[in-house]
Each structure stands twice: as structure tokens, then as C-alpha cells.
Structure 1
Amino acid sequence: MQSNMTSDRHAALMAKMATILGTDLDDAELRGDLPPEMRDDMLSACTGCAEPGNCARWLARTAQAEAAPDYCRNRDILHALAAE
């Protein structure tokens, strides 16, 4: 079972990635574009990623982007949400 600290860290990484790609996960959920279970699955995928350090560094130096890094396990979902 993952710790709350790990889960919180990955939730923050995921939210920042979404923002950089031009979407907001809370807004997407409120619009019905992101069901809560899908968001939970996204968090699980992010938590299982082997690249959180690289992700944090990429997020720290990137203000806006059209694409998430190739290693992002939520890349396709985030791109779809940003396109809506």
C-alpha cells in the first residue's frame, strides 16, 4: 500500500503536468470529462512510475508544453483532456 506522502507527491506532479499541458483535473472532473475512477487510475499509474525525479525536474523547468514526456504514464489521457 502506498503512503499518503507518496500519493500526495504524485497527485501534485500529476496536477502540475495537467496544468502545463493546458488542462485542470478538477475542472475536467466537474465537467464530467474525467470520472473519479479514471482519476484514481491515473494516480495509481503515476505512483507506479519509475521517473518521478525526472518528472519533477521537467515540471520545474517547463512553464507550458504541448506534450508530456514520453515516460509519462498518463500522457495519452492528459493530451485528450487538454484537447477538450
Structure 2
Amino acid sequence: LIKEDAVHRQSICHVFKADDQTKVPEIISSIRQAGKIARQEELHCPSEFDDTFSKKFEVLFCGRVTVAHKKAPPALIDECIEKFNHVSG
């Protein structure tokens, strides 16, 4: 999803595959905890961080998908996001 004012900017999406899906909740929890700690540190020491060239993104876990084939179709991520939006909306 790209905002209208960011159409010409480069965007990057990282997708990770877990070898052991029982670790996924632990990984998500670690990411959330790291985000909370970073926000707390930022509030306590805002002058320490140079945000001139940084961009921050909030990441929301909206679901999990298992595919049967190794090579996913190009539109898989878009289709999954659309389906998750229908389920949560």
C-alpha cells in the first residue's frame, strides 16, 4: 500500500519465511517489544537520534498464509492483503 504523495518514492517490503511456524508468535512478539523499547528511548532522549534521513513504518500482523507451492504467484501478497481486509473489516 502506497500513499498518493509517495507514488514516486521507492518502497521496500521484506517477507520472511520461518522454518518452524511455532516460532512466528515469538518473532512477532520480539518485533513489537523492540518497537516499544525504541519508542520509549526516543521519548526519553529525542536529541540522540538523527531522523533527517530516516523513515519509520508501523507494521501490523494481519494474518498468516500457507501456500502449497514453492513459487508464489506475483499477486499473492496483494490478494492476501485484500482477503485479510475483508475478514477484519
Q: How would you bin the TM-score normalised by the shorter chain?
A: under 0.3
- Per residue, is there more helix in 1 or in 2? 1
Greater relative contact order structure (CA < 8 Å, 6+ sep): 1
Larger Rg: 2
Q: How high is the TM-score relative to the length of structure 2?
A: 0.25
